[in-house]
Amino acid sequence: MKLDGEKGVVAQFLLDCENRGLADGSVALYRRHLGLLVRRLEMMGVTELEDVTLVYLRQFLHFLLHPDVNDKRFPGARRQDKGKLAPSTVGSYVLTMKTFFGWCVAEDLIESNPAARLTKPKIPKNVVAAFSPEHIDKMLAVCDTSTERGFRDYVLLLVLLDTGMRVSELCSLRLQDVYQRHIKVWGKGQKEREIGIHSEVSKLLWKYIQKYRHPRDPEEDHVFLSKRGALTVSGVEDIFKNIRVKSGITDVRVSPHTLRHTFAKWYLLRGGDLFKLSRELGHSGIQITGEIYLGDFKSADARLDHEDYSPVGRLNLKKGKKGKSSSR
């Protein structure tokens, strides 16, 4: 069976993903990863599903980890550090291949999964530094709130800081999802969740919608807009690039995801519950929250409230004191 083509196995897999209701982003990721895999396999003389072996897949991973910096035939792969892909990105390719070939086995197209023994490259644990209050002040200060765009950016920053939502969730936020004290978002896996919103941010968001939001199409219901329509992820990234330049912040990454980390850290510093934080971030469990988002939460931060939460605080030590015994 042919891998590529309109009636090829990859096309049927993607069609099934869409029919099963997978998120558009997931389907797009599979399409990009498998498209690159198919083109690379063709270069190795492999065009049929039955001819794909573990050896070919390992050669493909080697290509991803050690590409020719002058090779322009594979624009689908994001490169960094003189053409190399990040280990985390290569790891996502491994997951895609395991999923695709596992589907082929489930559909009785092949007998065994050639990607079953593929292993992801070791991913270094990089701690994402959170913003300080001074950083946030500088970022907000460069937003000219007297203009439509400046007020939008000001509110956008505060919404991301106040909710910790993903940038994709921000871009898909619609008017009917905004309530006075909370908002509804659609997270990964098309899972709906509610996130609380601070009263001050709620007022500013209401003001943006009522006064500064001017859609070209009266039917447009996305909350955050650009001149052309709904604000996109790349559009938000451009906003942050502009903020980084104007604010002069260089000691921490200026990005929407850094605001998500900042939300998590500040939430706990102010006494928030880890379980509730995990739910607001849209994680399936607190282990994910702890491993990914609390790397910047140092022991020096944790000890600040030691006096309030120490078990010794439950004891009445004064009652248990005894006077010095006198010797006879």
- Could you tell me the residue ranges of all domains in the chain? 9-106, 133-303
Longest dimension (CA), the chain: 102
Please list, in sequence order, all residues whose beta carbon lies within 8 angstroms of the beta carbon of residue 55, skipping any fewer than 6 positions away: none
Confidence (pLDDT) at 194:
85
Confidence (pLDDT) at 176:
94
State both tokens at 33. 């990863």
Please list, in sequence order, all residues whose beta carbon lies within 8 angstroms of the beta carbon of residue 201, skipping any fewer than 6 positions away: 155, 158, 159, 162
Share of the chain above pLDDT 90, in %: 48
Confidence (pLDDT) at 309:
54
Which pLDDT tens digit goes with each residue over 142-187?
999 999 999 999 999 999 998 888 888 899 899 999 999 998 887 6
User: How far is residue 11's CA from residue 246's CA, in Å, rounded to a whole number?
Assistant: 45
Which pLDDT tens digit goes with each residue over 67-99?
654 455 444 444 444 556 677 778 889 999 999
Higher pLDDT, 70 or 285: 285
Residue pointed to by tokens 């329509």:
229
Higher pLDDT, 314 or 74: 314
Q: Over 60: is that where the pLDDT of 217 sits? A: yes
User: CA neighbours within 13 Å on the CB side: how many for 163?
Assistant: 31
Q: 83's torsion region: left (phi>0), alpha (psi -120 to 50) or beta?
A: left
User: How far is residue 47's CA from residue 43's CA, in Å, rounded to a whole number?
Assistant: 9
C-beta of residue 48 within 8 angstroms of C-beta of residue 58: no
Higher pLDDT, 294 or 204: 204
What count of residues does the chain have?
328
Which pLDDT tens digit goes with each residue over 44-72?
999 999 999 999 999 999 888 876 544 55
Confidence (pLDDT) at 214:
93
Q: Over 90: is that where the pLDDT of 294 sits? A: no
Confidence (pLDDT) at 213:
95
User: How far is residue 301's CA from residue 129's CA, in Å, rounded to a whole number?
Assistant: 13
Which pLDDT tens digit goes with each residue over 105-149?
999 999 999 999 998 887 666 666 888 999 999 999 999 999 999
CA angle 164, 169, 175 (to 5 degrees): 105
Q: Over 80: is that where the pLDDT of 227 sits? A: yes
User: How far is residue 82's CA from residue 1's CA, in Å, rounded to a whole number?
Assistant: 37
Q: Over 50: is that where the pLDDT of 15 sits? A: yes
Eight-class DSSP state of 222: B
**What average pLDDT does the chain have?**
82
User: How far is residue 40's CA from residue 38's CA, in Å, rounded to a whole number?
Assistant: 5
**Which CATH number describes the domain made up of 133-303?**
1.10.443.10
